[in-house]
Amino acid sequence: MVEVVVTPVRVPTAGDLLVATPRLVDPNFDRTVVFVIEHQEAGTLGVVINRVSDISCAAAVPRWASRFAEEAAVGLGGPVEPQGLLALGATAEPPAGESLSPQGSGTESSEAGGVWRTVNGTVGLVDLTADPAELDTAVVAVRIYGGHAGWGPGQLRGELQSGCWWVFDSMPGDLTADATTLWYDVLARQSPPARLLAHYPDDPAQN
C-alpha cells in the first residue's frame, strides 16, 4: 500500500486545483492535475489540465484558431463525455464584473448567454458556439479540452478524506504550463509533506 500523509481536508472552490496523490489508483486520474470549474452540494465539475492529445486546438475548432496559442493541443479533460469540447480562457487581469464585455459592445455579456463566464479570478468558460470576435481581447489564452471530470454528491469528499487528492490554489499560467511536468511543478511549490511527492518515483518498486 502506498503510504501518503493525509492532510486536513480542504473543501475545493472554483479555480482550485485537485492534485492526485499516489493513493489514487484509478488510471483515468494517475498523477493528474484537475482545474475545478464548479463545486456544489450536487457535485463537482473540473477538467484535467496536464494531459494532452495529438490534435491541435486549431484543427479541432478552426473558426477559433486565431485565439489559440500557437501549437496548442486539445487537452484530455477527463473520462466523462470525451467527445464533448469545453473551453477555458485566461485574462491578463481579473475582469471588473462577473463577465467580460464582448469586444466593442460596451456592455457586459450575461452569465447565462455570454461568450464568457467567470470561473474564478482570471479564468473563465468560453462558449465555442459564439463568434470569436465577440470575445474580449483581454482574454490572452484559450484552451480546449475533450471530456471532463465529474463527481456526484459526496463522492469527491470521500476521496479527499481517503487522501486520494490534495487541494491547492491555482496560479496564473497553470492552464498554459508544460503539461508533462505540471503535476511535479504544482507539488514542488507547496509546503511539506506535499512537496516531497514531487520526487515520488514513477515505479516505487524500482526506487
How far CA 40 is from CA of 46, 98, 157, 176, 200, in Å, comes to 12, 19, 11, 26, 32
Residue 183 falls inside a structural domain: yes
Contact 102, 136 (CB under 8 A): yes
Residue 9 falls inside a structural domain: no
What CATH number does the domain containing 180 carry? 3.40.1740.10
Q: How confident is the model at residue 203 (pLDDT cuts 50, 70, 90)?
A: low
Check whether the bond before 193 is cis (ω within 30° of 0). yes
Residue 71 falls inside a structural domain: yes
Residue 49 falls inside a structural domain: yes
Domain interval for residue 128: 16-201
In this predicted structure, the answer to whether residue 83 has a pLDDT above a threshold of 60 is yes
DSSP state letter for 94: -
Phi, psi of 157 (to 5 degrees): -60, -40
In this predicted structure, the answer to whether residue 109 has a pLDDT above a threshold of 50 is no
Residue 3 falls inside a structural domain: no
Q: How confident is the model at residue 181 (pLDDT cuts 50, 70, 90)?
A: very high
Residue 10 falls inside a structural domain: no
Contact 114, 17 (CB under 8 A): no
Number of domains present in the structure of the chain: 1
- Cβ-in-10-Å burial (0-12, 13-18, 19+) of 120 comes to middle
* Residue 163 grid coordinates: 487522501
- Concatenate the DSSP letters of all residues of 99-150 into one string: SPPPTTT-SPPPTTTSSEEEEETTEEEE-TTS-GGGS-TTEEEEEEEEEEEE
Contact 21, 30 (CB under 8 A): no
In this predicted structure, the answer to whether residue 125 has a pLDDT above a threshold of 50 is yes
In this predicted structure, the answer to whether residue 80 has a pLDDT above a threshold of 50 is yes
Residue 6 falls inside a structural domain: no
Residue 36 falls inside a structural domain: yes
Phi, psi of 95 (to 5 degrees): -65, 155
pTM for this predicted structure: 0.87
Q: How confident is the model at residue 178 (pLDDT cuts 50, 70, 90)?
A: very high
Distance of CA 58 to the CA centre of its chain: 19
